[in-house]
């Protein structure tokens, strides 16, 4: 079974310029039909929608602002307001998924207590996601290189929230790069979490370059994804070591031939 790639335009196709709309055109010209973005906050959503439509692209994932420190209950009203707008934007863009992060942890509160507070905050916006036809994705990210201090750093943190909410609307975004950098072994993690995975993201490690630029055994990794029954998109979220289309060519061919 071949895997189709989606490309994150915040990281890639920078050679097309600073405008996301121009990167959309470049991704389409390179033969990609699925793209991902970060937040829609402060962006011209109708212009983004027009560019998606003009280039025949589907937006498969956006991010609700990940900087809000959800362990602080005083942020929850602001989080709910932000999420409502992000969900409306995602629906307007035809995007079916929205990523929710935890924001920073705090050193003066037990981890289980922090996770409980964050779970309550995220559970409170599940009806909003459902009203907009969205799947919420909980994403653990590494604290060792990219996101020091964040609460959701281990896959088990995301699982605690997903299981605590207990809704099919809330699922896992498993990023192989973040997992490896955080010291996890995907061969141990993936069989356990496969039924909860909504989306997979990748970059190579070390360095967060395109697959093939680091030390990860990607033929084995794709074989692992296949073995646990994953059939969805693979989102590439890397910093290319050269022009994006050229940098991704090897991995794209590999994914197509699995």
Average pLDDT of span 233-246: 98
Q: Can you point out the beta strands (E) in the chain?
A: 5-8, 34-36, 58-63, 97-100, 135-138, 170-175, 197-202, 234-236
Average pLDDT of span 171-186: 98
pLDDT at 226 over 80: yes
pLDDT at 108 over 80: yes
Cα 6 from Cα 10, distance rounded (Å): 12
- pLDDT confidence tier of residue 59, bands split at 50, 70 and 90: very high
How much is the pLDDT for 124? 98
Average pLDDT of span 79-96: 98
pLDDT at 131 over 70: yes
Average pLDDT of span 214-227: 98
Mean pLDDT for all residues in the chain: 97
- pLDDT confidence tier of residue 1, bands split at 50, 70 and 90: low
Average pLDDT of span 231-238: 98
Average pLDDT of span 171-180: 98
Strands 170-175 and 197-202: parallel
Q: Decide: helix, strand or coil at residue 258.
A: coil
Average pLDDT of span 9-38: 98
Q: Is the pTM of this model over 0.95?
A: yes
Average pLDDT of span 123-130: 98
Average pLDDT of span 52-77: 96
How much is the pLDDT for 66? 86
pLDDT at 258 over 90: no
Average pLDDT of span 232-253: 98
Strands 170-175 and 135-138: parallel
Average pLDDT of span 45-59: 98
Q: Decide: helix, strand or coil at residue 224.
A: helix
Domains of the chain: 5-256 (3.20.20.150)
Q: HSE of 108 in the Cβ direction (CA atoms, 13 Å)?
A: 1
pLDDT at 233 over 70: yes
How much is the pLDDT for 88? 98
Tokens 């997979």 label which residue? Answer: 200
Cα 34 from Cα 206, distance rounded (Å): 26
């Amino acid at each position: 079974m071949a895997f189709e790639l989606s490309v994150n335009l915040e990281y890639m196709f920078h050679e097309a310029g600073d405008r996301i709309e121009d990167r959309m055109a470049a991704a389409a010209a390179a033969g990609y039909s699925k793209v991902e973005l970060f937040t829609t906050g402060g962006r011209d959503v109708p212009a983004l929608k027009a560019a998606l439509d003009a280039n025949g692209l589907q937006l498969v994932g956006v991010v609700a602002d990940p900087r809000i420190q959800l362990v602080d209950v005083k942020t929850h009203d602001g989080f709910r307001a932000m999420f409502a707008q992000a969900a409306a934007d995602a629906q307007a863009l035809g995007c079916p998924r929205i990523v929710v992060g935890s924001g920073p942890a705090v050193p003066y509160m037990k981890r289980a207590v922090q996770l409980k507070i964050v779970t309550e905050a995220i559970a409170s916006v599940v009806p909003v996601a459902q009203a907009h036809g969205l799947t919420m994705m909980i994403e653990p990210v590494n604290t060792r290189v990219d996101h020091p201090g964040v609460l959701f750093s281990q896959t088990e943190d995301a699982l605690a929230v997903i299981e605590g909410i207990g809704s099919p609307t809330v699922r896992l975004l498993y990023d192989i790069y973040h997992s490896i950098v955080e010291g996890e072994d995907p061969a141990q993690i993936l069989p356990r979490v496969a039924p909860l995975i909504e989306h997979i993201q990748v970059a190579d490690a070390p360095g967060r370059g395109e697959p093939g630029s680091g030390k990860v055994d990607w033929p084995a990794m794709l074989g692992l994804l296949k073995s646990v029954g994953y059939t969805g998109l693979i989102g590439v979220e890397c910093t290319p070591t050269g022009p994006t289309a050229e940098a991704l060519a090897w991995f794209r061919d590999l994914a197509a031939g699995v």
